[in-house]
Amino acid sequence: MGKIYCLMGKSASGKDTIYNRLLAMEDLKVKRVIPYTTRPIRSGEVEGESYFFCSEDQVKEFEDAGKIIELRAYNTVYGVWKYFTADDGQISLAERDYLMIGTLEAYEQIRDYFGAEHVCPIYVEVDDGLRLQRALDRERSQEKPKYAEMCRRFLADEQDFSEENLKKAGITRRFLNKDLGQVTQEIASYIR
């Protein structure tokens, strides 16, 4: 049986970059799981790569069909944005291993859905000052920066990834992102 490696960490911790580097390593033989979101597409994003962008009606269709594995809703400064993983045929543990990005809450729901023996957490952490600078740089590069939402996410992550919540979720292994190449290799070794 395969495993699902769930990469998580606070916003701007380097998850997306690490995720893409890991997927490019042919020897890992992991397949990406693409989540869904109702938030607007950001400049530079491509439908079906980072996310499947969908409407509220599509979310309801998945819910009505019982195909939601995990779902999170965030009351942003721009309205409610939903993020979720669907049982849409992307995951077949009998065939292979998977890599996905998620939150601590998503990890717990995926673990509960597939079983702890099939879901492995990969928690990436980085200095808060560096995270804030990365988030600010990323937001500045957007056509219409959403600074208020960036600040909300930064502060929400402090609660979502609190030491208490990490302990409750059973997160014991952490990967410190001081050097992107080094942390990527450490995570790759963990997956192998």
- Residue 63's CB is within 10 A of a number of other CB atoms, namely 13
Residue labelled with tokens 């492995």: 120
pLDDT, tens digit, 9 for 90 and up, residues 107-130: 999 999 999 999 999 999 999 898
Task: For the chain, report the end-to-end CA distance as a whole number of angstroms.
Answer: 15
Half-sphere exposure (CA, 13 Å, Cβ side) for 40?
12
Domain 4-191: CATH class, spelled out = alpha beta
pLDDT, tens digit, 9 for 90 and up, residues 20-71: 999 999 899 999 999 999 999 988 889 998 899 999 999 999 999 999 999 9
Of 52, 55, 87, residue with least CA distance to 69: 87
Query: pTM value?
Result: 0.85
Domain range summary for the chain, segments of one domain joined by +: 4-191
Q: 11: helix, coil or strand?
A: coil
